[in-house]
């Protein structure tokens, strides 16, 4: 379980911005941003002072399409999901239920990878 906490501060002009807290002193937080299990480019992590860090990234253009797309922010080493952003576009959908289903799918993929890694490491 990750000790890092990622909190969104705003989403404006296609740029997601947030803060990372609970970072052990003297360590740069290891976070990754993923869309459809692929890394998102141009993720910026910079110190904000007082032990907090700024996290920002541009919403990938291919995430803006019909339906609900989920971008996940994960702890780099463990793959623990720290936060997520759901992009809803196109035809009207039941936002809450569809976003939850998409996030559950992303988390299930994460669990499958972790289980497979565990099986390989303990075999």
pLDDT tens digits, residue range 74-88? 999 888 999 999 888
pLDDT exceeding 90 applies to what percent of the chain? Answer: 51
Question: Are 66 and 91 within 8 A, CB to CB?
Answer: yes
Print the domain residue range for 96: 5-122
Residue spans of alpha helices (H) in 2-123: 95-122
- What pTM value is reported for the model? 0.73
Cα dihedral 59, 9, 23, 47 sign: positive
CATH of the domain at 35: 2.60.40
41-50 per-residue burial string, b: 16 or more CB within 10 A, e: under 16: eebebeeeee
Domain count, the chain: 1
Summarised one tens digit per residue, pLDDT across range 13-51 is 999 999 999 988 888 999 999 999 899 999 999 999 888
């Amino acid at each position: 379980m990750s000790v890092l906490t990622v909190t969104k501060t705003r989403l404006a002009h296609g740029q997601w911005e947030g803060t990372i807290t609970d970072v052990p002193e003297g360590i740069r937080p290891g976070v990754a941003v993923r869309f459809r299990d692929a890394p998102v480019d141009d993720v910026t992590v910079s110190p904000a002072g007082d032990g907090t860090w700024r996290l920002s990234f541009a919403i990938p253009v291919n995430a803006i399409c019909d339906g609900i797309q989920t971008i996940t922010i994960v702890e780099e080493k463990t793959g623990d999901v720290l936060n997520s952003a759901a992009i809803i576009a196109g035809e009207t959908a039941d936002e809450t239920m569809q976003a939850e289903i998409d996030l559950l799918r992303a988390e299930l993929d994460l669990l499958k990878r972790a289980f497979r890694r565990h099986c390989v490491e303990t075999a």
